Amino acid sequence: MGLSAGQSGICPYLGLPEDADSVQDYPSANNVCHHVSPPTVPTLTHQTNWCLTEEYARCQVYTAEHNSKMPAELTIKESRPPRRPVRWLFVSLAAVAAVLVGLFLLNDARKTGQATVPGPAATATHTAVPFLLIRDSTATPTRAVSPTATSTPLPPTLTPTAKATRAPHSLDVVIGEQDKFIIHRVSSGESIQLFATQHNTTPDVIKSVNYNLVVPIWVDSIIIIPLDRKDPGDLPAFEPYGIADKGLTLRDIAGKFNVDLEILTLYNDLLPEDLLEPGEWVLIPRERTYWYRY
């Protein structure tokens, strides 16, 4: 902590570089003798033996003429005001500003299509800039040459094709493309005649396309209903099969039930490798057992 220069036991000419009225009460490079010109830091030994003791009155510097020069042997260094710390914040802001200006100029040059070609080297002049630019004085300046701009065609933008997702073969969902069917769970009060009326078909056609159909139909039984069909034609009978295991395909089912894979895929409108999810239903083609005259 600084002490008053007038305090007893310390030379009144000893003070801080920028505040002669304050002084550190121990030997320090911050203690400056203001009796000499320019103000100078006495050696730490001299401060210990004279400046910071009551013997200062007999100090050769104290008794010398005011504004005389500090003897070299008593000088620790030239006492100049300490350099202020570099203002890094200012330098950083200036650097950011310079970069932004450079980017703006570069972007403007690109927009106008004008390439800047440096002219002959001008005579060097001293210009105040916020940065210290250090260059090799032996280097020969070279003329910057802008490469010839070539127009490179951009590859065509490829629009990803949306992958079609099929509707699951759930109950009451239409199955098939040319010949259409639904697989239905019978509820209380429903009948084959009701299904024929609702789906523009006949009871005989419904009986023909259901393999081993039990008549009268029971509540919660599963029945296959053809749509918009007045006669069975060459349709086989079908057995409804519910998928319980994950990862099955029509190829797996064809092998399991020993049926023709091509016919199986035709009536179910699926690919052989389409994965079936638990809860879906598949039409298994069978030999027709119900015949009638039409």
Residue 291 lies in a domain: no
Measured distance CA(27)–CA(45) in Å, rounded: 8
Long-range CB contacts (< 8 A, 24+ apart) of 59-64?
Answer: 59/11, 61/33, 61/35, 61/36, 62/11, 62/13, 62/35, 64/35, 64/36
The 10s digit of each residue's pLDDT in 43-56 is 989 989 999 998 88
Positions of the chain with pLDDT lower than 70, given as ranges: 1-8, 77-89, 91, 109, 111-164, 291-294
Number of Cα atoms under 13 Å in the Cβ half of residue 50: 17
Nearest CA among 220, 222, 219 for reference residue 206 = 222
Residue 158 lies in a domain: no
Domain ranges, residue 268: 181-286
Task: Give me the sign of the Cα torsion angle 213, 217, 221, 225.
Answer: positive
Count of domains forming the chain? 2
Residue 94 lies in a domain: no
What pLDDT score was predicted for residue 156? Answer: 56
* Domain end among 77, 111, 128: 77
Would you tell me how many other CB atoms lie within 10 Å of the CB of residue 293? 4
* Domain end among 77, 92, 114: 77
What pLDDT score was predicted for residue 153? Answer: 58
* Domain end among 77, 96, 128: 77
The 10s digit of each residue's pLDDT in 13-64 is 989 998 888 888 888 898 999 999 999 999 989 989 999 998 889 998 999 9
b (16+ CB within 10 A) / e for 176-208: beebbbbbbebeeeeebeebbeebebbbbbbbb
What pLDDT score was predicted for residue 74? Answer: 87
CATH code for the domain of 263: 3.10.350.10
